[in-house]
Amino acid sequence: NAGVMQNPRHLVRRRGQEARLRCSPMKGHSHVYWYRQLPEEGLKFMVYLQKENIIDESGMPKERFSAEFPKEGPSILRIQQVVRGDSAAYFCASSPRGSNEQYFGPGTRLTVT
């Protein structure tokens, strides 16, 4: 039973480029959450999605960031025109419907040069 999968594990982008982060939830999980972690800090909520729906995007910056969780395929977190301040570890978590428990993937470490 595979856990939450994220790819790529490491991503290097130059300022102004686009970053696409992918998350495949655990089998049977229909809820996906994205969090961002800056060095030496806790995780900050970004967005909560169910299949084809954004439920809560209150933690997502208003510009350059978008997320989707299509009917088929992984959830995607997209960052356009990246800046140095976007450098962080991005974690995806999934949970089954009606459950509080969130299971995290290994993260994608984004470095913007």
Partner 1 sequence: QQQVKQSPQSLIVQKGGISIINCAYENTAFDYFPWYQQFPGKGPALLIAIRPDVSEKKEGRFTISFNKSAKQFSLHIMDSQPGDSATYFCAPQGGSEKLVFGKGTKLTVNP
- Positive or negative torsion for Cα 97, 62, 110, 37: negative
Q: Distance of alpha carbon 41 from its chain centroid, rounded?
A: 17
* String marking each residue 53-82 x if it binds partner 1 according to CB under 8 A: --xx--x-----------------------
State the nearest-atom distance from the C-beta of 39 to partner 1, in Å.
11
Token code pair at residue 11:
């991503």
- For residues 11-40, which are near partner 1 according to CB under 8 A? 33, 35, 40
Q: Measure Cα distances from 81 to 26, 39, 66, 87 in Å.
A: 30, 22, 12, 12
Rounded distance between C-alpha atoms, residue 52 and residue 75, angstroms: 10
User: Is 44 near partner 1 (CB under 8 A)?
Assistant: yes
What number of chain residues touch partner 1 (CB under 8 A)? 26
Token code pair at residue 37:
């972690």
State the nearest-atom distance from the C-beta of 81 to partner 1, in Å.
26
Residues in touch with partner 1 (CB under 8 A): 4, 33, 35, 40-45, 48, 55-56, 59, 91, 93, 95, 98-107
